[in-house]
Structure 1
Amino acid sequence: MHMEQTSGSDTPRRYGTLTRLVRDTLREGILAGNPAPGQKLPSEAQLIDKFHVSRTVIREALSALREEGLVEPRRGAGVFVLDPAAADGPALRGIDPKRISSVVEGLELRTAIEVEAAYLAAARCSPLQEEAIIRSHHEVGACIRDGRSTVEADLAFHLAIAEASNNRRFVEILSLLGHEMIPRAALEGKEAATPTAYLERLYEEHRLIVNAISSRDQIAAREAMRAHLAGSQQRYRAYLANL
């Protein structure tokens, strides 16, 4: 795998994206038994050479794996793989998409984070970060038009806003939630297709968030995100009730 080498001028958005890519690649290997439990990961220098990223990206990816209980740094010896079966995993996992109370808990957590992330994104986002938000918004629309799943594009949209806040903690928490932050993700392909009206309303709410961020209107961005997540709760209740 080749990843572009980062530099001191890279944006926090770029760092966050590369960190997730390295973390996810290493996690997949660990879960597949490569390296096996008890074995040592390659050194920082070897990982930098393998992924073509900075030391900061490698250290943040390893830190995320340590928090998941998948690796253990040992002073002077390196970073060792732990048994994935014994790992507790991220504390934020475990949202049950078929239990309304569980989904509401997840959406309430997202509201606490994403409302402020949208507010900060309107004040802090760079042109590249704004472009990423707009691009992911357009991708949601393209998925709706083509009849494709919107889950990945929806997730990318919300992560792009978190990254544009330039507060990496927001990105970390939403990344821990992963696909579980999109409640319908677990139902697509197993139950009835998500109604078009549901998706079109979601797309319109996204548009209001994008417009507010692009206009650098922090209050409007905050309220548009709040209204979107409140609407998600209401729509999901109706969606699940009709399955």
Structure 2
Amino acid sequence: MIRRIVPRRLEPDEEATLVEHLTELRHRVFIVLGAVIPAFILTFAFHARLIDWLKRPLPADKTLVTLGVTEPFTTAVKVSMAAAIGIVLPILLWQVWAFLAPAVDRGVQRALSVFVVIGTGLFAAGVTFSYFVVLPAAVNFLTNFDDSLYDVQVRASYYLSFTSMVLLASGIAFEMPIFILALVRIGVLSSEKLRRNRRVGYVLMVAFAILLPTVDPVSLLFETVPLLVLFESSIWLSRFMEKRWTAHAPDEGWETL
């Protein structure tokens, strides 16, 4: 029974039929769903606290309103599901990684596994930075803009979707150093190329910040500066890691980070 539920991880050189791959994928989807459902039940039980946590960046004189019969319930479901996915994200990433890992050799698996762990920490740092720095500035500016001309009422479903997207986008943005380092590790980029094209990289970081959900100049500044710092740090980190990889390449190849 356990063998039917827990998928067997294929070896890098092992051949498998399409049916075997689909069977493994189905098992891993079941594992993710089996993790999401209890997590959703837990987060739904505490959805009031979650919504209250997301409401804190709102100015003191603003409150959330609902404009439909079902909106309070559907909003609670959306927030609870987003929180549940966040809780089980490590399980989700592990199942995706375990399904794709056989496509590369063991050395690459070890290297990229470390990148996944570091990337998880960077994602958490991005969400934290956005919640305490970006969101308060963005929400304060947007809800008070031209408030003398309007009766500003903040709709709950729109506000909570906005805050969730900002937090998610910021977390992804903070993944940028690990993404660049991974490209350097597999040879697509090099620290020399990054240094030569530093100005192009700066322009791309500004463009990426503009594409983030926030649209006001205050939060744009708060998002751009960390991205530029992270990009510059990626260049120096790539240079340092290249020397280390080169020094260990003859003996250990991919296995040394």
TM-score w.r.t. the length of structure 2 is: 0.23
Structure with higher Rg: it is: 2
**TM-score for both structures, normalised by structure 1:** 0.24
- Which of 1 and 2 has higher RCO (CA within 8 Å, sep 6+)? 2
